[in-house]
Amino acid sequence: MLPIFFMIKNSGGVGYIIKKIRINEQIRVPKVRLISEDGSQLGIIPVEKAVVLANEADLDLVEVSPDSDPPVCRIMDFGKYKYKLELSEKEKKKKQSQTTIKEVKIRPKIGGNDFNVKERYIERFLKAGHKVKISIIFKGREIVHKEIGENLAKKLMEDLEGKYILDQPPKMEGFNITMVFSPV
């Protein structure tokens, strides 16, 4: 019998492996440190005797810590153990913060009011906790006048630098000037 690969389904329905769990006869070590169902330590005993004790209690012998010497096993209901692992993984996922990068594209020929609107969008994204990548895009012969794009980047830096963190200063990448701001 092969070890059980415990899996949790994510929102897309695709599972991923969390932990390899051995139960009952799958445990292939001579001795284990045994913990009873009430949490008391029963000491280091042969694995065959531990399996018999688990069967007498109508429970499973579950390898909790396979890396220790000797491995730690516990007499418990395996279904409940899987359920608790699923809950703990879901809680860990909830606590992880997902930072997304929003991109705002600006052309060098942008008008004054349009520039202010783009700047408000950038501030809104930053207040919501997102990182913002600002791209000043040159098309065709506009690249000859890089200084216009550099001036736009300087103006944005002056307006946002006191309130937000500049992660990546303006840098020319092909036909674009890019810079990245993140929230405080």
Cα 171 from Cα 55, distance rounded (Å): 67
Q: What is the mean pLDDT of residues 88-109?
A: 85
Instruction: Determine if the pTM surpasses 0.75.
Output: no
Percent of the chain with pLDDT over 90: 31
Question: And the tokens for 92?
Answer: 């860990």
Residues 148-180: tens digit of each pLDDT: 999 999 999 998 878 899 989 999 988 999 999
- Report yes or no: 22 and 1 within 8 Å, Cβ to Cβ: no
Mean pLDDT of the region 2-22: 55
Report the percentage of the chain scoring pLDDT > 70. 89
What angle in degrees, to the nearest 10, is found between the helix axes of 112-127 and 146-160? 50
pLDDT of residue 22: 80
CA 156, 157, 159, 164 dihedral sign is: positive
Q: Can you list the domains of the chain with their CATH numbers?
A: 4-94 (3.10.20.80), 101-182 (3.30.110.10)
pLDDT at position 17, please?
Answer: 47
